[in-house]
Structure 1
Amino acid sequence: MASKIPLAQPPPEEHSRVLLWRWRRNPLRRRADLLQAWIALSLFLAALAATPAATVLAEETAHRHYQQAARHQASTRHATPAVLVDDAPRHPEPGSDEAKHALYPVTVRFTDPCGHTRTAKSDVRPGLPADSAVRVWVSDEGKITDPPLTPQQIHSRTMGCALLAAMTVPLAGGALYGYASRVLERRNLAAG
């Protein structure tokens, strides 16, 4: 008894041929397919070229901004001695690593730059008794504020802005490609 002859199978395609199918000449390839391939290539190259430029530009701009902010803060904020009005709460685990970095809000009394005595909440180390002396930063308006930005804070914020710019450019390129693909797909469906 003769066995059935197996049906002819197409040869297995290479992955690179499938990946680059829009570039090959093919009777089924539409002009929109080639246009989409050119859009993908141009957006990829544009993102590749624009990412370093955007990163450097964002880094320089952020660095200038944060240095100017630090100079302004240094000129308008003053370290002032203050006295605790109440006892600071004790940390539940004294001596632990967390206790070394923990701060608790406590009412303090201080003199503002205009010479008026004020009270406000400030973060202090745990376990300090009332009438302990601490240093607080006070603005020109007499409000307790954070200390001016340090060089490490300026650096970390600048690097954060540069990283954000480095991620935004490729994401914008991907979004543009997605939009262009959608427009071409709609055009193809409308053409029938």
Structure 2
Amino acid sequence: MTRSMPRWRWRWSPVGNPLRRRSDVVQACTSLLVAAVVLIGAPVTSAVTYDDVRDSLRATAAEQTRTGHHITVTLLQDSPKHPYPRSSAAGKARYPVRVRYVAPDGTEEIALADVRASLRAGTSVRVWAGADGKPTDAPLDADGVHGRAVGLAGLSGMAVVLVGVIVHLGVRRALDRRRMAAWDRAWAESAPK
């Protein structure tokens, strides 16, 4: 009574499968290697990216907070109405509107500033100004830093997966071409003339 070898061992055994070609082994080994690199590399890349981006954004936000300040601006036009004024997003939404403000040198300037929805022209609001005294975006808060860091970390992890897929498909295509060329040569040698 003979015991049969499990199917996975038969495929990988150096002597067990007479139909296995060298290119099959190369393709299988490459697939395993790419899978291992992707399974290890994607989370590691994401974690490193998250830490780096978070630290960078925190430093930038701290610098902007240290050098910036609030200024009062006057709207020169009505700000747009939010399409869903009763939604939770309506209070957080900001729209770019032309405003007038007094620059640090005392001159009146006109610029774009992001303000809440549904404000009338002539309304005075406080906006964030950079070190140069011009209206700009407020520094990111902790949630903004976290959100951007998570987004970029996810993109970096997906990039590792994408590179792995491209490498796998490239190797597979190259091996398929070699197999087709070998079959063409073998057919040319054995075909009736």
Shared fold (TM-score greater than 0.5)? yes
Gaps in structure 2 of 5+ consecutive residues: 1-5, 184-193
What TM-score do the two structures reach when normalised by structure 2?
Answer: 0.74
Unaligned runs of 5+ in 1: 1-15
Deviation at 1:125, TM superposition (A): 3.5
Alpha-carbon shift at residue 172 of structure 1 (Å): 1.6
CA drift of 1:134 comes to 0.4
Distance 1:59 1:127 in 2: 37
Which range is displaced more, 60-69 or 95-104? 95-104
Letter in 1 for 2:138: P
1:164 correspondence with 2:159: no
Report the counterpart of residue 23 of structure 1 in structure 2: 12
Identical positions, percent: 35
Q: Cα distance, 1:58 vs. partner?
A: 0.9
- Does 1:75 pair with 2:66? yes
Q: Distance in 2 between matches of 1:23 and 1:131?
A: 78
Is contact 1:22-1:34 (8 Å) kept? no
Q: Is 1:179 aligned to residue 185 of structure 2? A: no
Q: Hey, what does 1:5 align to over in structure 2?
A: none
Is residue 2:95 matched to residue 1:107? Answer: no
Aligned to 1:12: none
8 Å Cα contact 2:42/2:160 also seen in 1: yes
Deviates more, 1:150-159 or 1:63-72: 63-72
Deviation at 1:191, TM superposition (A): 2.5
- TM-score, normalised to structure 1, is 0.74
> Quick check: 1:22–1:33 contact (8 Å CA) kept in 2?
no
Match for residue 34 of structure 2 among 36, 43, 56: 43
Q: 1:111 to 1:91 in 2, by over 3 A?
A: same
Q: Is the 8 A contact 2:100 2:110 kept in 1?
A: yes
CA 138–187 in structure 1, closer or farther in 2 if over 3 Å, else same: same
1:96 and 2:86 correspond: yes
Tell me the C-alpha RMSD between the 2 structures: 2.9
The 5-angstrom pairing of residues 131-142 of structure 1 reads: 131-142=122-133
